[in-house]
Amino acid sequence: MKLPHHGRFDYSPIVDRPVFDWPGGKRLAFYLALNVEDFAFGGTMGHTPTALGPPPDPRNYAWREYGLRVGIWRIFDLADELGLPLSHLINSTVYDRCPQIVARIKARGDEIVGHGRTNSERQGDLDEQREAALIREATERLTCGHGARPEGWMGPWISETAVTPDLLKEAGYSYLLDWPADDQPFWMRTRSGPILSVPYPIEINDSPTMLSRMQSSTDFRQMIVDQFETMLRFSEKAPLVCGVSLHTFVVGQPFRYAQLREALLRIVNHPGRDAVWFTRPGEIAAFARTLPRGTLAGSEG
């Protein structure tokens, strides 16, 4: 039996790959991905801590809005306190509505990653022409508002069509975060040449952990610590990427923020931190592109 296959990459066991170091001889690349998302009032799509209500559903809209008005500012301050870089997976409509957030991102020198126009829509619902228009519009707005174009992309809701990697490559993107298939970057095929996949944490992610699976904030704290410490140990054999995905309206809530802070304090003060590269996905992708052919999966040909 032959199963349908995407054709984007071949199977590659991590134990069969060459060993390399991250910059400075580091073994574990650690990054924080902050989802900065904007939602339509009256829309029927969006995260919720309870149940979606009938439109206009002000309770859930306002809970999400809390992330932009309050939660993100606490996360900015925490990252400043701990000296941690951030990568912002940001909807382009935030650039129209929240100039203070844009200014703080610029002042910190953080990376932006294209995250569509709004999380009130999914790319997977669109035909190729409309998806290309969505990518183009979001990219142009982010580039204009930030002064530099984003190099990476993750679709709203991590949603893709069959041609999304092709469209992203053709739109000038060098990496994407939609395929959580590995602990190392790997190269994917598109109709216009290769694009790099950078590991993104689908489970060490506050939204599915605490909103979908209804696990506690203390569970999430322990998950972060366990993931980091175990991957740090695994990285002695092979260089790895450890990411943590956050949402402004989830860990921006004070009781969850407290647990996030405890987890990050544990990481930045860890006795093994000298082996850790505190970085961003774009820097991981840039370094990955300098590695010799055959080092990363998908670069053999």
* 136-158 pLDDT per residue, tens: 999 999 999 999 999 999 999 99
Residue 295 resides in a domain: no
Q: What percent of the chain has pLDDT over 90?
A: 95
Residue 6 resides in a domain: no
Residue 184 resides in a domain: yes
- pLDDT tens per residue, range 96-135: 999 999 999 999 999 999 999 999 999 999 999 999 999 9
Residue 293 resides in a domain: no
Number of folded domains that form the chain: 1
pLDDT, position 85: 98
Binned at pLDDT 50, 70 and 90, residue 43 comes out as: confident
Residue 13 resides in a domain: no
As a residue count, the chain comes to 301
pLDDT, position 235: 98
For residues 168-174, give the mean pLDDT: 98
For residues 194-208, give the mean pLDDT: 97
Cβ neighbors of 177 (< 8 A, separation 6 or more) are: 33, 89, 113, 152, 153, 154, 158, 197, 198, 199, 200, 281
**In CATH, what number is assigned to the domain containing residue 162?**
3.20.20.370
Residue 135 resides in a domain: yes
- pLDDT tens per residue, range 211-253: 999 999 999 999 999 999 999 999 999 999 999 999 999 999 9
Q: What percent of the chain has pLDDT over 70?
A: 100
Residue 298 resides in a domain: no
User: Range of 238's domain?
Assistant: 21-288
Long-range CB pairs of 47-55 (<8 Å, 24+ gap) are: 47/119, 47/207, 47/211, 47/247, 47/249, 47/250, 48/211, 49/211
Residue 1 resides in a domain: no
Q: Decide: pTM greater than 0.95.
A: yes
Q: Is the pLDDT score of 92 beyond 70?
A: yes
- pLDDT tens per residue, range 13-30: 999 999 999 999 999 999
pLDDT, position 11: 97
The end-to-end CA distance of the chain, in Å, is: 27
- pLDDT tens per residue, range 48-66: 888 888 899 999 999 999 9
